[in-house]
């Protein structure tokens, strides 16, 4: 198993919890030399960054984590919070700010802490980026303590959230996969109550919670966390970790033969592909 795909399991706070903890030595650097050596095409479908969220700083392994999160929530109604960069995410998704569904609480996993129980802070008061110049308008001032909860229909939309949050030393995206009978209105209500919500009270049977807390350019000692939680135990975490670990090894084998961006895109599409539905169990 690739080190960044090794999950630990625990039952904690009434939830089945699976955590992949990857320090600086565990998360592979960007691997294809063309990410440094070639000028990126401007067309979104040809650019490795705009298409896959991969460049010479954010490597292929982070995209694998994102693909695993998407595969884990297959068959659910997906909603995500891009922490702090709500308005940037709305712009990339083409959502008018008046249509953004906002909530008062967002989840936090603290990448500055190497100890998992201490890093898992749970729900914290939401906050959103407010510009200094030009001066924020009335809507931005009124919503500075509101996170955006965005419905997602495609993996490309999850990648768009990645682009929205990628400018900081560390970033976080929280993905809620809602099972049958649990709609977004109930989730909004749970994340907008006056008192601090507890995740085991927010989730219902069949829901899947995935949090991607990622280090990009930060002091040594910070830790990446991929966190999965649910009320029900699931073997899909292990099966998908096996799948993507094997896919990553295949990718490592083909990297020396990649010459063009077309070669790269084909290899990444294969790397990020989920297993057939019958093989996810």
Report pLDDT digits (tens) over 51-93. Answer: 999 999 999 999 999 999 999 999 999 999 999 999 999 999 9
pTM value?
A: 0.95
The residue ranges of DSSP E strands in the chain, in sequence order, are 7-12, 15-22, 77-82, 101-103, 105-109, 120-125, 147-152, 170-178, 208-215, 224-230
Helix/strand/coil for 140: helix
Quick: pLDDT tens for 199-256.
999 999 999 999 999 998 766 679 999 999 999 999 999 999 999 999 999 999 999 9
Tokens for 81, please give them.
């919070």
> What rounded mean pLDDT belongs to the chain?
94
Quick: pLDDT tens for 99-139.
999 999 999 999 999 999 999 999 999 999 887 778 888 88
pLDDT value of position 278? 58
Sort 226 into a burial class: Cβ within 10 Å, 0-12 / 13-18 / 19+: buried
């Amino acid at each position: 198993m690739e080190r960044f795909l090794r999950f630990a399991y625990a039952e904690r706070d009434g939830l089945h919890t699976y955590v992949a903890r990857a320090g600086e030595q565990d998360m592979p650097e960007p691997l294809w030399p063309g990410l440094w050596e070639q000028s990126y095409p401007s067309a979104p479908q040809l650019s490795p960054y705009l298409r896959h969220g991969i460049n010479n700083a954010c490597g292929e392994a982070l995209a694998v984590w994102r693909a695993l999160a998407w595969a884990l929530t297959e068959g659910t109604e997906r909603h995500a919070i891009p922490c702090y960069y709500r308005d940037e995410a709305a712009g990339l998704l083409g959502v008018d700010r008046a249509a953004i569904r906002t909530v008062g609480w967002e989840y936090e996993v603290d990448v500055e802490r190497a100890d998992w129980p201490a890093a898992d802070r749970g729900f914290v008061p939401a906050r959103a980026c407010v510009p200094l110049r030009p001066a924020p308008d009335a809507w931005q001032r009124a919503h500075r303590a509101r996170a955006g909860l965005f419905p997602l229909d495609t993996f490309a939309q999850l990648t768009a959230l990645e682009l929205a949050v990628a400018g900081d030393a560390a970033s976080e995206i929280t993905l809620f996969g809602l099972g049958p009978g649990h709609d977004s209105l109930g989730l909004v209500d749970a994340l907008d109550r006056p008192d601090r919500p507890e995740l085991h009270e927010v989730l219902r049977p069949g829901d899947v919670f995935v949090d991607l807390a990622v280090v990009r350019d930060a002091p040594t000692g910070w830790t990446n966390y991929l966190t999965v939680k649910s009320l029900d135990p699931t073997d899909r975490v292990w099966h998908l970790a096996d799948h993507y670990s094997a896919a990553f090894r295949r990718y490592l084998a083909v990297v020396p033969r990649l010459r063009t961006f077309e070669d790269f895109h084909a290899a990444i599409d294969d790397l990020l592909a989920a297993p057939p539905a019958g093989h996810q169990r």
